[in-house]
Structure 1
Amino acid sequence: MTNIIETQLKSLISTYNKFSVWGKMLFFASLLIISMFLLSGFNKMREGFEQSDKFLLKSGNDVYDEFYVDIYDYLVFSNLKDDYEVGEIVNKTVPTSESKILDVGSGTGHHVAGLAAKGLDVLGIDLSPSMVKKAKEDFPKYKFEVGDATNSGEFGPNSFTHITCMYFTIYYIQDKTQFFQNAMKWLRPGGYLILHLVDRDQFDPILPPGNPLLYVSPQRYAEKRITSTKVKFDDFRYSADFKLNSDTNIATFEEKFKNDTDGKVRKNEHIMYMPTLNSIVNEVQQQGFILDSKVDLINVQYEYQYLYFFVKPE
């Protein structure tokens, strides 16, 4: 399935490059119309938020309440990307019925479900009780727990053959060294640590529903990097912006929800600890891991985003 998708995407890009200027304009217009149609149909199903305060600021784990968890998948989930990542994990590490996999920052549970559907033993942990609750509701057959990957006592030595840390989770962990040390302890010899890493200065921070071009990154055609997302839901407006301070290695991802009816505003503030990609790779290696391989997510149109596969020595 993955190879078919890759072939179709490459064929689409190749065809696009052969278009004239007018052909390219028509192509973009068609994509925009299709996107607007799909998004308008979905947005009609979304309900507004309710709060007593005129302005409400949420940060840290408080962001992940029932309202936000309910719309989270619409904002960030990509079935194409998740399927591709699960496929690459299976192809590169060849897990068996004896494997035990830990997914750190499991969110709404899609990676756990994708791996478990292949008959694998998978446990998802997340700091957010609301996320864990949502994952259990959507995937009741699979295992999810509230857990902290920076707590060395969370699991015993040699508990897992794989530890995955997907979709920006590593950037929400401030003490990465402690996490890498824990992973080294929890993994069996020969086990894999799999990290989703990005080029912080180049990746596309626009969320999927805010990209009218669907499978084409607008960053390719922008004179300046686009960092904002805007989405119209049925009863409220959503906007978001990504800001990086390269000097402090801290990024903020700010989301704003404005209710159409009463004008009340909710703001979510995500703090992300984003050193350079190479510095993270070096830190993992300093804790004793061996870099095994890397997967470029450009194949599913997530440019400058990667899966890094590290191995605990035998």
Structure 2
Amino acid sequence: MYDVWWPALLSVTIVVLCGIYVWEMSKSYRKVAKLDLEGIEAFANPAGEESRVDNDCYDLFYSKVYDKIVQPEARAAMEVQVPLEWFKKEGRELDTLRVADLGCGTGLHVELYARAGVHSVAGYDRSEAMVTEARRRFPERKFEVGDMLTATLMPAGSVDLISAYYFLIYMTPDRRTMLRNIYLWLAPGGVFVCHIVNKLKFDPVLESASPFVGFSVQKYADERITGSAVTFEEFEYKGDFQLHGGRGTYEEVFDFRDGRRRRHEQRVWMPNIDVLTAEIQGVGFKILHHVDLTAIGYEYNYLFFFGR
């Protein structure tokens, strides 16, 4: 009897939960999060509305709210573990690996690499505010302000593993220069690991706005859900991803309690996966491996490994 009713009950439960999820997302599900913004001004012009594009979004204010919005903890552990396990299977000792994390943000991946026992690790980000926050959070680690389009960011052949997580590969129109630099910085036999998505099917809803962490039911929705909404004590946050062919934008709006509004627009350049991997191979890389992140709730998200 148990074998009969238990699968049926489980199926009904899944259907009900999926229905609740879609209903909640359709009405812009929100949950409250607390921030420490004492003494931090969110506006260059405190009296008016403000709009920022791409790199200009990443100022002191954003460095303090970024992790609460994006919640990198949900995937960072696996993003670090997967390439390190691959190196171990290839016979490399972790305490010999030199690692660089591009677009390190507030530094979590660098901290996790260090805890795993790599020989050395450094984080690089073009936002001075994000690097300052990373140094505050993890003062024992190395973080540098720098642009991945600058060949002198690090010495040639100086690292064994370079990682680029959370859509970084899409955030510059001059991707070829970035890829050539990465190839230059890697030692022979080094590996470039980057986050790649199916642009038409990945779930753009942020973890902070999702009722169920690490679970996407986009396939149960009539239309793709692209918006995120979160209530903070200081402001209402809304984000929305829009794709137009090979170009995309992620727009953010912060509506403060005093009536002021701050807008962000992050542009992305998103070719299909086969086109993007061909671009990467075009500078000399070889595809070694890829890992599907569906197992941790990120369907149509992948980590690709490219060898020098």
State the TM-score, normalizing by the size of structure 1.
Answer: 0.85
Q: Deviations over 1:247-291 (max 9, x none)?
A: xx211100001112x211110111111111211101111111111
Which among 71, 74, 77 is matched to residue 71 of structure 2?
Answer: 77
More displaced stretch, 300-309 vs 205-214: 205-214
Alignment deviations for residues 128-165 of structure 1 (CA, whole Å, 9 cap, x no partner): 00000000000111000001111112222211111111
1:288 corresponds, among 280, 284, 288, to 284
- Please say if residues 239 and 250 of structure 2, whose CA atoms lie closer than 8 Å, have aligned partners that are also in contact: yes
Distance 1:289 1:306 in 2: 17
- Residue matched to 1:138: 137
User: Taking every aligned residue pair, what percent have the same amino acid on both sides?
Assistant: 34
The count of corresponding residues between Structure 1 and Structure 2 is 289
CA contact (8 A) 2:206 2:228 kept: yes
Determine the structure 2 residue equivalent to 1:187: 186
Displaced runs of 4+ in structure 1, greater than 3 A? 15-18, 20-24, 26-30, 44-51
1:251 aligned residue: 248
Change (3 A) 1:113 1:50: closer
How many Å separate the matches in 2 of 1:182 and 1:82? 24
Structure 1 gaps of 5+ residues are 1-14, 34-38
Q: Cα RMSD over matched residues?
A: 2.4
Distance 1:215 1:134 in 2: 26
**Residue in structure 2 matched with residue 264 of structure 1 by the alignment:** 260
1:68 CA displacement: 1.2
Contact (CA 8 Å) 2:18, 2:217: kept in 1 or not?
no
Tell me how far 1:127 sits from its aligned partner: 0.4
Shift of 1:25: 2.4
CA-to-partner distance for each residue in 1:223-268, whole Å, 9 max, x for gaps? Answer: 110001111111311101101110xx211100001112x2111101
Contact persistence 1:251–1:271 (CA under 8 A) = yes
In structure 2, what is the equivalent of residue 62 of structure 1?
56
Shift of 1:182: 1.2
Matched residue, 1:43: 33
What SS does the aligned partner of 1:237 have? strand
Query: Unaligned 5+ residue runs, structure 2?
Result: 1-5, 25-29
Aligned equivalents of 1:241 and 1:255: distance in 2?
A: 7
Alignment counterpart, residue 88 of structure 1, candidates 79, 82, 92: 82
After the TM superposition, which residues 102-251 of structure 1 pair with which residues of structure 2 at under 5 Å, given as runs?
102-120=100-118, 121-246=120-245, 249-251=246-248
SS in 2 for 1:19: helix
The answer to whether the Cα contact below 8 Å between 1:205 and 1:227 also exists between their aligned partners in 2 is: yes
Stretch of structure 1 that moved more, 82-91 or 208-217: 208-217
Deviation at residue 53 of structure 1 after TM alignment: 3.3
Deviations along 1:84-118, one digit per CA (max 9) or x if unpaired, are: 11110110123532221111111111111100112
Query: Is contact 2:35-2:65 (8 Å) kept?
Result: no
CA drift of 1:166 comes to 0.8
Distance change in 2, residues 1:219/1:156 (3 Å):
same
Q: Secondary structure at the match of 1:244?
A: strand
Structure 1 CA distance, aligned partners of 2:7 and 2:144? Answer: 45
TM-score (norm 2): 0.87
C-alpha distance in 2 between matches for 1:229 and 1:62: 21
CA–CA distance in structure 2, aligned partners of residues 50 and 157 of structure 1: 39
